[in-house]
C-alpha cells in the first residue's frame, strides 16, 4: 500500500509540473446522486466539422401533404413560405450564419421556369398515379428571386437540390434509366449566377441511391451525372475564386452503392451526403422508448463509421455530410419530434456524427412537418431550435475523444470551445430518476489506472481534474446551460434554460441564452431527463491551441 501512495504522489508531482495546475479531489455525496467521471483526451482532435455544422432544410411539400391522417406542412413549402415573417427571419439570423439545404422528395419532379420552356409553370398537384403522388411542379424565377433576397437578408448559406430524374425513363420496378438531362438545371444555375446570387453547393438528386425511395439510379450512371454537373459548375463559374460545392447523392447509406459512386468520382464529388431516419415511421408508438434507449441510439454508428471508412480507403477528397435527418420518416410525429424529448435524439446525433468527422448536419426541417425547428403555423421555436442554437454557439470545430464511465444513460461529447479558450462538454441524461454528478478529467490513462486500483480499496469515490491555479482564486468560472422540459413533461413544447422558459418576445426576438457560472472544482449536476452544455475555459487541451 505504501508503494502505491508513493507512486501516486510521484504522478501528482509530474502532473503538477507538466500542466502548472492544481489537482482537486472531491468526495461522493449521498442519496440518489451518483458521482461519475468523464475523460476527455485533448491531445489531438478525432474529427473536424464545418464552422456552420448545424444546418436545416426547407422542403417542397404542399399543404396537401398528409401522413397517417395528419396534414402537417401547411404553408412551409419553398413555394409558399411567408418570407416576411419576423420570427422566421430572426430565427435564421440568430445563427449568423445558418446553413440551409433546399430540397426533398419532390425536388426530383421540379422544373425551373425558363424562357422558351413550353411547359406551364404551375405548383404541385396531388395525383396518386404519378411518382411521389404528385404531378410535376415548377419554380417560378420570381419566387427564386424572392428566396435569394431573403437568404441574403438573413445571411443564410444555401445548398440547392437539383432535379436528378429529369430526362430519365422510370420503369415499373422503379429503376430510372438513361442519363440525366442537365439542360433545365444548367439554365437555373446560369440565371442564379447572372443575378449575383450566392449558392454554397449544388446537390444532385434526393434519395435515388441504393434501392431508392420511389425511384433509383445505378451508381455507375449517377457517377456519370455527377461528373456532368461538376463540368457545368466549372464552366459557369469560370473565373470565380470560389466555386460552389458539387454534392450527392442525398440518400440512405448503401455501402456498396456509395463505394462505387465515390470511386468513380474522385475529382468531381466534393461532398457525400446521406440521410438519417433511424427511428422508423412517424406512426410508431414506441418512438420515445427508442429515443431513451442508449443501445438503440448506438445502432446508427454503423452508418457513420461505414461512410467514414469508405472516404478514408477510397482516396477521395470528398467529405461527409448528413444532408437530411428527421429521425422519424413521413413527417415525424406530433408531440414527439417537435417536443423536448426529441432533443435527446437530435443532440446525440450531432455529437455522434461529428465524432465520425461529419462536416455538416442538416435537420429536417427548419419549418414544416412535425419535426420542424420552428412551429409550422406560429413560427415559434420548438425545443430543438434552442438545442441547435446552443450547439452552434458553444461547440467548436475540433472534436475531442470523450469517454464516460459508470452508466450508459449518460451520453457525453466534447469539442474545443467555439471562439474562446477551453472546451465545451455536452452531457445528456437519459435516466429519468437519477441526478448524475459528473467530474471532468483530462489525466493520462496511467494515472487513471492507479486511481482505479486505489478506488477498489476505498469505500469512497475519488475523482481528479486539473484546474489552473488562477481559477482557485475565483478568476475563472465554468459556464453551464441546463436544459429541461417545462413541468418535467418530456412531451412539452416548452424548454427551460437554467429554470427559465425560452420564448421569443413580442417583437419576435430570440431570447438570450445566458449561462450560470460555477466554480470549476464543483461537479456538474445533470438532473434526470436533462441536457447540460458546459464551457470549461480552465481546460487547456493541446488539440485546441
List, by residue number, the catalytic residues.
207, 324
Helix (H/G/I), strand (E/B), else coil: 13: helix
Q: 181 vs 162, 173, 204, 219, 534, CA distance in Å?
A: 11, 21, 12, 17, 50
The rounded distance, in Å, linking the Cα atoms of 382 and 505 is 14
Rounded distance between C-alpha atoms, residue 354 and residue 351, angstroms? 5
- What residues contact 521, with CB distance under 8 A and at least 6 apart? 24, 26, 465, 467, 471, 472
- CA 412 to each of CA 33, 452, 460: distance values in angstroms, whole numbers, following the listed order: 18, 20, 24
CB 359 within 8 A of CB 321: yes
Show the cell assigned to 18. 507538466
Contact 371, 482 (CB under 8 A): no
Report DSSP state, residue 239: T
Q: How far apart are CA 368 and CA 379, in angstroms?
A: 10
CA 447/CA 466 separation, integer angstroms:
12
Residues 251 and 211: their CA atoms lie apart, in Å, by 10
The pair phi, psi for residue 115, each rounded to 5°, is -65, 135
**CB neighbours of 516 closer than 8 A, spacing ≥ 6?**
479, 480, 481, 482, 498
- CA dihedral sign, ordered 193, 209, 352, 313: negative
- Which neighbouring-strand residues pair with 137? 110
Alpha helix locations (H) across 365-522? 383-394, 445-456
Question: With helix as H, strand as E and coil as C, how does 264-311 read?
Answer: HCCCCCCEEEEEECCCEECCCCCHHHHHCCHHHHHCCHHHHHHHHHHH
CA distances from 481 to 38, 53, 233 (A): 18, 20, 43
Look at the block and give the residue holding cell 422542403: 59
Nearest to 250 by CA among 91, 506, 57: 57
Amino acid at each position: 500500500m505504501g508503494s502505491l501512495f508513493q507512486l501516486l504522489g510521484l504522478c501528482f508531482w509530474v502532473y503538477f509540473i507538466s500542466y502548472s495546475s492544481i489537482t482537486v479531489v472531491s468526495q461522493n455525496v449521498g442519496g440518489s446522486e451518483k458521482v461519475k467521471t468523464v475523460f476527455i483526451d485533448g491531445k489531438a482532435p478525432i474529427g473536424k466539422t464545418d464552422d456552420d455544422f448545424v444546418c436545416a432544410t426547407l422542403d417542397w411539400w404542399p399543404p396537401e401533404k398528409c401522413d397517417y391522417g395528419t396534414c402537417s406542412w401547411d404553408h412551409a413549402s419553398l413555394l409558399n413560405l411567408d418570407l416576411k415573417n419576423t420570427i422566421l427571419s430572426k430565427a435564421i439570423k440568430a445563427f449568423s450564419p445558418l446553413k440551409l439545404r433546399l430540397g426533398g422528395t419532390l425536388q426530383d419532379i421540379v422544373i425551373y421556369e425558363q424562357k422558351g420552356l413550353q411547359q406551364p409553370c404551375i405548383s404541385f398537384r396531388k395525383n396518386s398515379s404519378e411518382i411521389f403522388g404528385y404531378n410535376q411542379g415548377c419554380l417560378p424565377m420570381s419566387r427564386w428571386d424572392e428566396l435569394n433576397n431573403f437568404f441574403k437578408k438573413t445571411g443564410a448559406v444555401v445548398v440547392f437540390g437539383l432535379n436528378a430524374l429529369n430526362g430519365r425513363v422510370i420503369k415499373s420496378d422503379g429503376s430510372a434509366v438513361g442519363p440525366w438531362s442537365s439542360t433545365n438545371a444548367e439554365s437555373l444555375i446560369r440565371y442564379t449566377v447572372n443575378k449575383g446570387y450566392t449558392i454554397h453547393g449544388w446537390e444532385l438528386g434526393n434519395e435515388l441511391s441504393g434501392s431508392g425511395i420511389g425511384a433509383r439510379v445505378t451508381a455507375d450512371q449517377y457517377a456519370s451525372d455527377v461528373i456532368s454537373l461538376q463540368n457545368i459548375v466549372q464552366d459557369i463559374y469560370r473565373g470565380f475564386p470560389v466555386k460552389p460545392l458539387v454534392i450527392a447523392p442525398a440518400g440512405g447509406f448503401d455501402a456498396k452503392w456509395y463505394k462505387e459512386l465515390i470511386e468513380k468520382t474522385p475529382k468531381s464529388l466534393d461532398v457525400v451526403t446521406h440521410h438519417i431516419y433511424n427511428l422508423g415511421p412517424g406512426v410508431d408508438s414506441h418512438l420515445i422508448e427508442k429515443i431513451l434507449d442508449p443501445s438503440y441510439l448506438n445502432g446508427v454508428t454503423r452508418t457513420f463509421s461505414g461512410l467514414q471508412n469508405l472516404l478514408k480507403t477510397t482516396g477521395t477528397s470528398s467529405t461527409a455530410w448528413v444532408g437530411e435527418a428527421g429521425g422519424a420518416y413521413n413527417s415525424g410525429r406530433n408531440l414527439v419530434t417537435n417536443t423536448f424529448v426529441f432533443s435527446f435524439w437530435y443532440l446525440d446525433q450531432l455529437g455522434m456524427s461529428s465524432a465520425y468527422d461529419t462536416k455538416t448536419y442538416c435537420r429536417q426541417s427548419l419549418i414544416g412537418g412535425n419535426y420542424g425547428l420552428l412551429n409550422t403555423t406560429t413560427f415559434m421555436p420548438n425545443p430543438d431550435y434552442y438545442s441547435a442554437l446552443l450547439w452552434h454557439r458553444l461547440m467548436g470545430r475540433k472534436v475531442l475523444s470523450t469517454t464516460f464511465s459508470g452508466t450508459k444513460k449518460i451520453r457525453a461529447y466534447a469539442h474545443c470551445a467555439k471562439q474562446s479558450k477551453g472546451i465545451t462538454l455536452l452531457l445528456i441524461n437519459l435516466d429519468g430518476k437519477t441526478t448524475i454528478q459528473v467530474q471532468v478529467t483530462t489525466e493520462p490513462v496511467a494515472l487513471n489506472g492507479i486511481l482505479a486500483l486505489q478506488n477498489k480499496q476505498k469505500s469512497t469515490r475519488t475523482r481528479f481534474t486539473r484546474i489552473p491555479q488562477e481559477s482557485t482564486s475565483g478568476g475563472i468560472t465554468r459556464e453551464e446551460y441546463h436544459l429541461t422540459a417545462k413541468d418535467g413533461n418530456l412531451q412539452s413544447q416548452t424548454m427551460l434554460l437554467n429554470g427559465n422558459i425560452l420564448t421569443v418576445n413580442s417583437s419576435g426576438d430570440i431570447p438570450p441564452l445566458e449561462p450560470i457560472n460555477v466554480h470549476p472544482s464543483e461537479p456538474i449536476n445533470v438532473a434526470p431527463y436533462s441536457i447540460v452544455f458546459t464551457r470549461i475555459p480552465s481546460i487547456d487541451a493541446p488539440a485546441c491551441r
